[in-house]
Amino acid sequence: DADVTQTPRNRITKTGKRIMLECSQTKGHDRMYWYRQDPGLGLRLIYYSFDVKDINKGEISDGYSVSRQAQAKFSLSLESAIPNQTALYFCATSDPVRENTGELFFGEGSRLTVL
């Protein structure tokens, strides 16, 4: 089983719908992240959390919200999806103390299409 699991892997939805992307990890890491990937733009940071009580906005947080339900779970919500939120979303974890680096460990990605 993957250390960082994202669900769903693929989702097609309509404009205005509420969508939640879920991420769970078995690595025991404190830090979790959500990025979105668009062709030609690389990965852009949406939100990140350094522990259960810590939530931080990234470069492109507008239109998104997150919930850190437990150390192992970090969910991304789109309250009212719009077509330009169509993208590939990645969850990642890190633990600079445990891993001795800031290396990120990624999930397989969730492809979201908003019609």
Partner 1 sequence: AQSVTQLDSHVSVSEGTPVLLRCNYSSSYSPSLFWYVQHPNKGLQLLLKYTSAATLVKGINGFEAEFKKSETSFHLTKPSAHMSDAAEYFCAPNQAGTALIFGKGTTLSVSS
Q: Which of 7, 11, 45, 63 binds partner 1 (CB under 8 A)?
A: 45
Among 11, 27, 43, 86, binds partner 1 (CB under 8 A): 43
Helix, strand, coil percentages (3-state) for the chain, rounded to 5, are 5, 55, 40
Phi, psi of 24 (to 5 degrees): -135, 150
Please, how many CA atoms are within 13 Å of residue 61, restricted to the half-sphere of its CB? 11
Binders of partner 1 among residues 54 to 113 (CB under 8 A) are: 56, 58-59, 90, 94, 96, 100-104, 106-109
Binding site for partner 1 (CB under 8 A): 33, 35, 40-45, 48, 56, 58-59, 90, 94, 96, 100-104, 106-109
